[in-house]
């Protein structure tokens, strides 16, 4: 059973007409109802609402409207009467009038709960009447046809007068027309930043929705791609910037925690993570320009800064280990060539190659020392080998 606070599931299959005797029923309601106190407004209002609901349930929608109008004559702020009237109009297929009546009701009712009920039904009516044209306008803007979008939106002006975001959408579309007709975009914007963000969220709804779903599913690569696509439609979209920053940080974090097989692989990962973090911080800065996203963007930037510090430390460690290993490898390669005799390096070539390796080995030994937890033993062995070779070479 549907009540005045419920949103109707759909439109009626047929249009109801008020029977001729309904006028008499409405006019003679007090006598027909056997009211004891016909002059009591509260009781009369209650009986009128009950009759409106009864006639609505019986699918006598015109009669229900008549009782609702009588109730509104007694109390213009009666939420139940407005809802029975709007529900009946919806069932009669007259969405335009239902929206008009609910728009009037929004100004007449009192209290947050009453306004919420009116807004719910008003939103439902608008969606059913305007969803398709609004989607067509959105697609036109996305496809670079702002003039077509303006034409579509202008047709909805009367229907969406009470929609706070509609004027912003129309203004945005008009700005795009001006930008398309002139070779340079118009300076500034007629929209406030919060209003602009609402329009951009509507314009890039598809990408933002898919991006949010991918984030929730922890598919960060797909999420980043969705937010990048949203940014292509409008580079000022701070919601897309924040989403991309979040996804890139997550990708960097996951890559950072992967175990590399070699230090060379670890160094490549450090470079990859550094690039992701740099892009994430840049996008988070863009999102922070929107006051509504500043806190979330600040959280991302803080996480990026912490991971950047850890990643930089790993990069320095990898560079240290790789540099020492290269010096050791160069020394061992030199000695293998020398030990082959005539087929490799001779004594003269050894004397040419050795000084550079010796200088590097001593420099690394002095820089990191024998107690370094990563390369201390290697440095000691290298230092001893170089020192011994220096003593054995005949200059």
Which alpha helices (DSSP H) does 234-262 contain, by range?
238-257
Q: Is the pTM higher than 0.85?
A: no
Provide the 10 A C-beta neighbour count for residue 187: 5
Question: What is the predicted pLDDT for the residue at 184?
Answer: 65
Q: How far apart are the C-alpha atoms of 343 and 349, rounded to whole Å?
A: 12
Q: How far apart are the C-alpha atoms of 150 and 168, rounded to whole Å?
A: 12
Q: What DSSP letter does each residue of 34-87 carry, written as one string? A: T-S-TT-HHHHHHHHHHHHHHHHHTT-HHHHHHHHHHHHHH-TT-HHHHHHHHH
- Joined together, the tokens standing for residue 154 give 């202008």
Instruction: Tell me the pLDDT tens digit for each residue of 17-68.
Output: 444 444 444 444 444 444 445 568 888 989 999 999 999 999 999 999 999 9
| Out of 22-26, 116-120, 359-363, 365-369, least confident range | 22-26
- Joined together, the tokens standing for residue 89 give 């109009």
Instruction: Tell me the pLDDT tens digit for each residue of 8-17.
Output: 443 333 444 4
Q: How far apart are the C-alpha atoms of 207 and 225, rounded to whole Å?
A: 9
Question: What is the predicted pLDDT for the residue at 13?
Answer: 38
Question: What is the predicted pLDDT for the residue at 88?
Answer: 94
Q: Has residue 350 got a pLDDT over 80?
A: no
Instruction: Tell me the pLDDT tens digit for each residue of 63-114.
Output: 999 999 999 999 999 999 999 999 999 999 888 889 889 888 988 998 889 9
Instruction: Tell me the pLDDT tens digit for each residue of 267-303.
Output: 999 999 999 999 999 999 999 988 889 999 999 999 9
Between the alpha carbon of residue 331 and those of residues 246, 376, 380, 386, the distances in Å are: 46, 17, 14, 8
Task: Calculate the CA 311 to chain-centre distance.
Answer: 27
- Long-range contacts at 383-390 (CB < 8 A, ≥ 24 apart): 385/331, 386/331, 386/357, 386/358, 386/361, 386/362, 389/335, 389/354, 389/358, 390/354, 390/358
| Out of 195-204, 217-226, 301-310, least confident range | 195-204
Instruction: Tell me the pLDDT tens digit for each residue of 220-270.
Output: 999 999 999 998 887 878 889 999 999 999 999 999 999 888 999 999 999
SS3 267: helix
Q: Are 262 and 316 a contacting pair, CB within 8 Å?
A: no
The end-to-end CA distance of the chain, in Å, is 107
Instruction: Tell me the pLDDT tens digit for each residue of 123-156.
Output: 888 778 878 898 899 999 988 899 999 999 998 8
Question: What is the predicted pLDDT for the residue at 217?
Answer: 96
Question: What is the predicted pLDDT for the residue at 201?
Answer: 82
Compute and round to an integer the Cα radius of gyration of the chain: 38
- Kindly indicate the confidence band of residue 162, based on its pLDDT and cuts at 50, 70 and 90: low
SS3 172: helix
């Amino acid at each position: 059973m549907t009540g005045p606070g419920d949103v109707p599931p759909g439109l009626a299959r047929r249009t109801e007409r008020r029977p001729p005797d309904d006028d008499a029923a409405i006019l003679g309601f007090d006598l027909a109802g056997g009211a004891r106190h016909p002059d009591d407004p509260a009781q009369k209002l209650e009986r009128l609402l009950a009759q409106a609901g009864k006639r609505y349930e019986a699918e006598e929608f015109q009669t229900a409207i008549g009782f609702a109008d009588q109730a509104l004559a007694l109390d213009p702020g009666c939420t139940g009467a407005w809802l029975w009237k709007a529900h009946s109009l919806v069932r009669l297929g007259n969405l335009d009038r239902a929206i008009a009546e609910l728009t009037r009701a929004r100004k007449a009712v009192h209290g947050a709960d009453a306004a919420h009920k009116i807004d719910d039904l008003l939103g439902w009516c608008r969606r059913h009447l305007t969803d398709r044209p609004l989607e067509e306008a959105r697609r036109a803007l996305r496809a670079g046809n702002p003039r077509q979008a303006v034409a579509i939106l202008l047709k909805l002006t009367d229907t969406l007068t009470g929609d706070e975001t509609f004027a912003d959408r129309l203004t945005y579309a008009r700005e795009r027309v001006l930008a398309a007709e002139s070779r340079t975009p118009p300076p500034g914007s007629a929209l406030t930043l919060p209003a602009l963000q609402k329009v951009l969220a509507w314009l890039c709804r598809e990408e933002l929705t898919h991006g949010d779903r991918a984030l929730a599913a922890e598919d960060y690569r797909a999420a980043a791609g969705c937010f990048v696509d949203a940014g292509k439609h409008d580079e000022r979209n701070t919601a897309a910037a924040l989403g991309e920053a979040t996804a890139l940080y997550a990708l960097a974090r996951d890559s950072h925690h992967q175990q590399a097989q070699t230090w060379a692989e670890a160094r490549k990962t450090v470079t990859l993570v550094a690039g992701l973090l740099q892009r994430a911080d840049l996008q988070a800065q863009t999102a922070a320009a929107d006051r509504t996203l500043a806190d979330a963007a600040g959280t991302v930037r803080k996480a990026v800064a912490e991971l950047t510090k850890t990643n930089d430390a790993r990069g320095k460690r990898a560079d240290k280990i790789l540099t020492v290993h290269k010096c050791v490898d160069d020394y061992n390669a030199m000695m293998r060539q020398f030990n082959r005799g005539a087929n490799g390096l001779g004594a003269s070539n050894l004397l040419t190659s050795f000084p550079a390796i010796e200088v590097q080995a001593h420099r690394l030994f002095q820089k990191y020392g024998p107690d370094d937890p990563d390369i201390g033993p290697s440095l000691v062995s290298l230092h001893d080998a170089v020192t011994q070779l220096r003593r054995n070479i005949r200059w």
